[in-house]
Chains A and B, each alone.
Chain A
């Protein structure tokens, strides 16, 4: 196996400052795709004992970027990522427990990527939020 993908610890360091400040970490790699998580705490709390929608969006967005970065590394590509848009669907309230998110690359071109992201808590089959992101690569 060629050494084309970074291990979990190395990818952890690639999380942007905002993700690290919010407490987001990579918990595992599933077929090379990072699963991100964040513990419930003051930095993500909206109304009492629930996630703020913005914090959930932050987790989704970072999971989308992490999925794309992992794929680009695996493909031996280097690119600067430029966000174009994100649409977040909120499906149920984020309760006071850890949240997880994983992105799936639905389309990867030379210049653009379309990514679908899901966030869940204790039951992976019941996502609390989903997002669709378009990212340009330069």
Chain B
């Protein structure tokens, strides 16, 4: 465990986890970066990039990568809130776009997990391009926990679905 851990959360640290999560795969390809965290929220940055545009003639990030940004920030806000990393599956994710992001601007996604139960987690958040009071989009989602599915106990755990418990869950 890191000795200069600035997070109030002992078991999951979004800043540290980001180094691992964003090394490859879809989120690595997008270039997602850690931006901030709190007790029950995580903020990630989607840097502007020319090949992530929604239209050829406007230098504005497409809405697709913003969904990816919000999906990832949602999952991480759940781990942050639960203080542990256990796989979750997105059941439903809704994104309402208020306006296009500014040209050549990065977009930040800040998502809070406002409620967890044994089997579900509920999130809400905003995407913004620099000013949290003037969001680009609002998001709401519901996630299902994979680790707590009792039917899985008797099954061999599939590759990539190993429930990792980081640190001691002394909450």
**Do A and B form a real pair?**
yes
Q: Which residue of A lies closest to B99 (CB)?
A: A82
Interface membership of A104, Cβ < 8 A: no
B133 part of interface (Cβ distance < 8 Å): no
Nearest Cβ on chain B to A47's Cβ, whole angstroms: 4
Chain B interface category by residue count? 35 or more
Chain B residues, CB < 8 A from A52? 25-27, 68, 71-72
Q: Bound complex: CA of A52 vs CA of B29, how far in Å?
A: 11
The CA of A22 and the CA of B65, in the complex, are separated in Å by 10
Using A16-B55, A87-B92 as known contacts, say yes or no to A57 and B26 having CB atoms under 8 A apart. Answer: no
Give CA–CA (A119, B63) in the complex, Å.
Answer: 18
Chain A interface extent, by class? 35 or more
CB neighbours (8 Å) of B160 from chain A are 47-50
Contact code string B108-130 (vs A, CB < 8 Å = 1, else 0): 00000000000000000000000
Q: Which residues of A contact B65 (CB under 8 A)?
A: 18, 54, 58
> What are the residues of chain B within 8 A of A18 when measuring CB–CB?
51-54, 62, 64-65
The secondary-structure label for the interface of chain A is mixed
Q: Give the residue name and chain of the B residue nearest to A15 (CB).
A: B56
Q: Which listed segment binds B: A3-11, A26-34, A70-78, A88-96?
A: A88-96
In angstroms, Cα B23 to Cα A45, docked, is 12
Name the contact of B26 in the complex, choosing from A43, A62, A85 (C-beta under 8 A): A43
B96 within 8 A of A: yes
24 contacts between A and B (CB under 8 A): A16-B55, A17-B56, A18-B54, A42-B25, A52-B27, A52-B72, A53-B71, A54-B67, A54-B72, A55-B26, A58-B68, A61-B64, A61-B67, A82-B100, A84-B96, A85-B94, A85-B95, A85-B96, A86-B95, A87-B93, A88-B94, A90-B89, A90-B90, A90-B91
B residues apposed to A, CB below 8 Å: 24-30, 50-56, 62-65, 67-72, 87, 89-97, 100, 159-161
- 4 A-B pairs with least C-beta separation: A54-B68, A48-B160, A58-B64, A52-B26
- State the A residues within 8 Å of B (CB): 16-22, 42-55, 57-58, 61-62, 82-90, 93
